[in-house]
Structure formats: C-alpha cells, structure tokens
C-alpha cells in the first residue's frame, strides 16, 4: 500500500466493509475523529466516549450485548479484507471513490444514507456536470420507448450525464440511446463489478464503461440480492437531479427510487399516461404524490405523425448504408461522408421515428431489418 491514494482508501474500504456497525454510527465516528484512518487507530475507550455523547447511539455502549459485540469487533479489527479488495480491484481496473473524494464529497455530505465508498469502472466527469436519471419499466410499451429516447436526446443535447440502473427495458434503452448519441452515461448496479444481472447485459455494461462509468457499493465477487437492489435505487436517486420516471407499475423499483428522490428534495418528473395502462400506474401515482409531469416539446410538436427531421439526403444515405448489414456509429458517419454532428442529429430523429434502432450489439439496424 505504498501509493498515497491507496493508503488512504484502505481505511475507507475497511470502515465501509466493517459489518456489525450501522452506517449512521460510522458517519458519527468519522465526523468526530476526522477520517477513517483515525477511527481505525482509535481505542475502544475513545469510540465508546464518542458514542455516549450521542443520544441515538447511546444504547451501543449502554446495553451489555451491544457493548460486548462492539468490543469484540474492535479488538479484532485489521486491514486484511480491505487490502484484499483493493488488490483484487486493481487487477480488474476497478477504482475506489471515497467519501472525501472531490468528485463524491458533496453528495456524501448531503445524503447521510449514501455509502462511505463506491467502486466503479470507467471514467467519472467533474461533479458539476448535471446528471439526469431516466428509469422505467422492464416490460415497456412503444410509448415508453419513444418518450425515453426523446428524454435522452434532450439531456445529451444539454451535455448532461444520463444515469440509469442497467436493467432490461427502459433502463437499457436510456443507456443505449445515450451511447448512440455520443453522450455520457452512468449505470448503478446491485452487485460487484465482476458480473451484471441479467447476464445478457454484459455487452451493454462494457459499452457503458467505454462511454461513462458503472458504479456499485459492493466489492468484486458480491452477488445481487433483493435488498441490494433497494440500495442501488437509493444511490441512483442520490446522484440524479432531476429524475425522470417514464413508465412504472405501482409496486416497482422505479417508484421506490422516485420516492427516495422526492424525500431528498430532488426534482422528479413522471410521464403521464392512460389510467388504464398498468405499466404507468406508478407514474400516475407519483404525479399525485408531488412529481412534475414530464412534457417533451419535440414529442408534442410531432404528435400527429412520425418524426422526420434532419437532412433528407442524409436520411436516404443512412437507409442505403444499412440495407446490407448493421453498422456502428463511426462506420455510419464514414459511410455517409457528412459532418458527424449532422449525421448524429439525423440518427436521433430517425430513431424517434422508428425507422432505425440502436441495439445491444453496438450497431444501428433498420427497423424490421437484420
């Protein structure tokens, strides 16, 4: 642990991974002692004195079972597990984001339920770049897909980061559309970075890493469990402002994420839909609970017919290029031979018009084609 950052990180990872002490207690100790390294080197007497000063944590030292468990935990503390995690992560190019990191510090201080450490692969942009969450149902409708694409297009045009949960359905579509438009996307997952759930999302996960980052509070090797999806949703809600919920059933992870965001004072937009559509029961309920209705000018302006924008000559050239086989964005730009920005604008318009689609293989396909 000779590298200064790694040396600092090992104490954050130690406290983050320390079982038997709630997150709230860990935060109190950090606040009192300054940093996790000081917490590690503090005596049991120091720890109990700090906890006795807080009404909510008094029982951890006043009640015998808690005090004995804490005493045993403290006498056995060591850095071996944290060192192993960091060594494993270094092998797999996984980085550590600690609570005092300049890219994480503000979120860590503002939301006391966000974890001490996040692990990630990819690249994080500066924290002042806005992050827009776009989430929705796994079983989505064509309406939901159109709105998702339009919302992502709007965010990318503003150079905002698009974040979602890497689930199948609208989450995946939000990531895919962002990548196709040349934007940056973050994915939050409920397991270690050794895998992705479902396994069919592996290619998309690698594409996200190349165009943003995949983040998790769980170290390499930790599998997804039901309660970990809840924490994933809470972290996603903490990082996004605003959060757009496109389609969601009444009892769904998307609704829980939105409620967490509303509780944190974040802006939450929900897409209105028919009361007869069960996949939008959650979004309609969120509107009644205080969310703002999401309205997209481009969709409203084109509600009477398919969206057909961009240079008509480019549209023809794109369709012709895709007749033989699907192509990646770079290949299409080279084939069309026009400025990249103009081609991307036509691609976005054609996708919204459902003439082409960007699939998980990282290529553009004609709708109804190979």
**Residue 352's domain is classified under what CATH number?**
1.10.10.10
Q: What is the pLDDT of residue 238?
A: 92
98 domain-assigned: no
Distance (Å, whole) CA 40 – CA 10? 11
Cα-Cα-Cα-Cα dihedral of 238, 97, 79, 232, to 10°? 30
Which domain-ending residue is among 275, 301, 327? 301
Q: Which residue has the higher pLDDT, 123 or 225?
A: 123
Q: Are residues 149 and 263 in the same domain?
A: yes
Residue 25 lies in a domain: yes
Contacts for 71 with CB less than 8 Å, ≥ 6 apart: 44
Same-domain status, 316 and 287: no
Phi-psi region of 357 (alpha: psi -120 to 50; beta: other; left: phi over 0): beta
Q: Are residues 286 and 138 in the same domain?
A: yes
Please check whether residues 242 and 145 belong to one and the same domain. Answer: yes
State how many domains the chain has: 3
Within a domain: residue 109?
no
- Whether 216 maps to a domain, the answer reads yes
Mean pLDDT (whole number) for 274-287: 83
Domain that holds residue 157: 122-301
59 has a pLDDT exceeding 70: no
Q: What are phi and psi of 227, to 5 degrees?
A: -70, -25
- Residue 220 inside a domain? The answer is yes
Between residues 119 and 324, the one the model is more confident about: 119
Q: What is the mean pLDDT of residues 335-346?
A: 72
Final residue in a domain of this structure, among 301, 323, 351: 301
What is the pLDDT at residue 178?
Answer: 95
For residue range 195-254, what is the model confidence (pLDDT) as tens digits? 988 788 899 999 999 999 999 999 999 998 888 988 999 999 999 989 999 988 888 888
Q: Please, which pLDDT band fits residue 68 given cuts at 50, 70 and 90? A: confident
The residues near 67 (Cβ < 8 Å, ≥ 6 apart) are 48, 60, 61
**Nearby residues of 12 by Cβ (< 8 Å), 6 or more positions away:** 36, 96, 98, 99, 100, 116, 117
Measured in degrees and rounded to the nearest 5, phi and psi for residue 281 equal -60, -35
223 shares a domain with 147: yes
pLDDT digits (tens, 9 = 90+) for 73-107: 899 999 999 999 999 999 999 999 999 999 999 99
Higher-confidence residue: 31 or 53?
Answer: 31
In a domain, 99, yes or no: no
In a domain, 21, yes or no: yes
pLDDT of 308 > 60? The answer is no
CA dist., res. 308 & res. 353, Å (int): 6
Q: What is the largest CA-CA distance in the chain?
A: 78
Write out the DSSP string of 106-153. Answer: HHHHH-TTS-SEEEEEE-PPPTTS-EEEEE--SS--HHHHHHHHHHHH
CATH number for position 242: 3.40.50.450
> Could you report how far apart the first and last alpha carbons of the chain are, in Å?
51
Q: Are 134 and 170 in contact (CB under 8 A)?
A: yes
Indicate if 333 and 278 belong to the same structural domain: no
Residue 110 has pLDDT above 60, yes or no: yes
227 lies in the same domain as 259: yes
The pLDDT of residue 171 is above 90 = yes
Q: Which residue would you say has higher pLDDT here, 241 or 62?
A: 241
Positive or negative CA dihedral for 348, 351, 356, 357? positive
Say whether both 274 and 316 belong to one domain: no
CA 297 to chain centre: 26
Pair (237, 139) in one structural domain: yes
Same domain as 294, residue 216: yes
Q: Is the pLDDT of residue 298 over 90?
A: no
Residues 42 and 162 in one domain: no
Q: Which of 301, 322, 349 is the last residue of a domain?
A: 301
For the segment 11-36, the average pLDDT, to the nearest whole number, is: 94
214 lies in some domain: yes
Asked if the peptide bond before residue 198 counts as cis, ω within 30 degrees of 0, the response is yes
Check whether residue 80 and residue 127 sit in a common domain: no
């Amino acid at each position: 642990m000779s590298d200064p950052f790694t040396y600092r990180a090992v104490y954050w990872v130690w406290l983050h991974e320390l079982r038997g002490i709630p997150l709230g207690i860990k935060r109190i100790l950090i606040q009192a002692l300054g940093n996790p390294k000081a917490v590690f080197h503090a005596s049991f007497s120091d720890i109990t004195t700090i906890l006795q000063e807080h009404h909510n944590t008094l029982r951890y030292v006043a009640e015998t079972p808690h005090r004995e468990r804490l005493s045993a935990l403290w006498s056995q503390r060591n850095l071996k597990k944290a060192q192993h995690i960091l060594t494993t992560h270094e092998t797999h190019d996984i980085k550590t984001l600690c609570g005092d990191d300049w890219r994480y510090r503000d979120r860590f201080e503002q939301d006391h339920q966000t974890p001490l450490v996040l692990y990630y692969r990819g690249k994080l942009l500066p924290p002042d770049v806005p992050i827009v969450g776009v989430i929705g149902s796994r079983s989505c409708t064509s309406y939901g897909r159109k709105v998702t694409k339009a919302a992502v297009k709007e965010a990318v045009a503003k150079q905002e980061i698009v974040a979602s949960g890497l689930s199948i359905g609208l989450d995946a579509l939000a990531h895919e559309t962002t990548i196709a438009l040349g934007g940056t996307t973050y994915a939050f997952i409920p397991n270690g970075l050794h895998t992705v759930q479902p396994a069919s999302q592996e290619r998309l996960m690698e594409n996200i890493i190349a165009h943003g980052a995949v983040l998790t509070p769980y170290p390499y090797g930790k599998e997804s469990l039901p309660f970990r999806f809840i924490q994933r949703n809470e972290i996603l809600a903490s990082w996004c402002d605003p959060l757009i919920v496109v389609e969601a059933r009444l009892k769904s992870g998307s609704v829980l994420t939105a409620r967490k965001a509303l509780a944190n004072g974040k802006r939450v937009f929900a897409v209105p839909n028919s009361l007869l559509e069960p996949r939008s029961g959650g979004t309609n309920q969120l509107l009644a609970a205080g969310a703002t209705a999401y309205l997209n000018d481009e969709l409203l302006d084109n509600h009477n017919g398919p969206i057909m924008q961009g240079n008509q000559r480019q549209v023809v050239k794109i369709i012709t290029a895709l007749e033989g086989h699907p192509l990646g964005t770079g290949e299409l730009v080279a084939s069309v031979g026009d400025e990249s920005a103009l081609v991307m604008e036509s691609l976005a318009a054609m996708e919204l018009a459902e003439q082409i689609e960007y699939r998980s293989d990282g290529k553009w396909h004609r709708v109804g084609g190979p």
